């Protein structure tokens, strides 16, 4: 599973409050969306952007934020979900950013991606990137913070994403 398992297609500015050089730029990437699922990804990204817009402190400074959606197709839909120690489904999905549940082999909900590749794609597509978030096309609950915020499409997905973004953007810890 590598970047040969998909392609970067393009970028769209879905919230435009002005020039990127004078805004805080949130870049949303998708992983595990096949080309035929990119319309769903566009909706997922828009829903996440709307949730961010309604959440403090972003709601108070929303006019200073731009949001970009990078279209990335993956060979397979979903994410790798190892069966072993984390009792996953055993699914093996070939995705562009290598979305994987059970990172480190201990906690199934710890969903990760190849952060270096995600950051590289975000910065190539939007040089003024301030925050990178990856939405993984899976309804299994999961997420993580770190160099990029990662979250799945489980129930409450937008709130999971905002939570993980708090780890990444602000260094917040779990309660």
C-alpha distances (whole Å) from 33 to each of 5, 22, 72 are 11, 31, 7
The three-point CA angle 49-136-33 to 5° equals 100
Ranking 67-76, 125-134, 157-166 by mean pLDDT, the lowest is: 157-166
Ranking 39-43, 130-134, 162-166 by mean pLDDT, the lowest is: 162-166
Residue 152, classed as helix, strand or coil, is strand
Contacts of 19 (CB under 8 A, 6+ apart): none
Q: pLDDT > 90: what percent of the chain?
A: 85
Q: pLDDT > 70: what percent of the chain?
A: 98
pLDDT over 90 (residue 10): yes
Please, what is the end-to-end C-alpha distance for the chain in angstroms?
Answer: 34
Q: Would you state the pLDDT for residue 1? A: 53
pLDDT over 60 (residue 34): yes
Looking at residues 122-132, what average pLDDT do you find? 98
Q: Would you state the pLDDT for residue 147? A: 95
Task: Give the fold, CATH level 3, of 6-170.
Answer: Collagenase (Catalytic Domain) (3.40.390)
Ramachandran angles phi, psi of 161, nearest 5°: -60, -45
pLDDT over 70 (residue 99): yes
40 or 1, higher pLDDT: 40
pLDDT over 90 (residue 145): yes
Predicted TM-score (pTM) of the model is 0.95
Looking at residues 68-72, what average pLDDT do you find? 98
Mean residue pLDDT of the chain comes to 94
Looking at residues 37-49, what average pLDDT do you find? 98
């Amino acid at each position: 599973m590598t970047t040969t398992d998909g392609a970067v297609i393009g970028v769209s500015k879905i919230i435009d409050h002005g020039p990127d050089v004078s805004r805080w730029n949130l870049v949303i990437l998708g992983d595990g969306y096949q080309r035929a699922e990119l319309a769903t990804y566009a909706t997922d990204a828009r829903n996440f952007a709307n949730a961010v817009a309604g959440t403090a402190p972003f709601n108070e400074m929303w006019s200073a934020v731009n949001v970009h959606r990078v279209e990335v197709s993956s060979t397979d839909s979903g994410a790798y979900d190892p069966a072993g120690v984390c009792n996953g489904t055993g699914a093996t999905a070939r995705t562009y950013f290598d979305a994987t549940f059970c990172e480190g082999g201990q906690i199934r909900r710890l969903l990760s991606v190849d952060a270096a590749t995600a950051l590289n794609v975000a910065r190539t597509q939007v040089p003024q990137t301030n925050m990178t978030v990856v939405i993984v096309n899976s309804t299994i609950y999961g997420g993580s913070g770190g160099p990029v915020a990662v979250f799945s499409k489980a129930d409450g997905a937008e709130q999971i994403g905002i939570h993980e973004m708090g780890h990444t953007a602000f260094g917040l810890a779990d309660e």
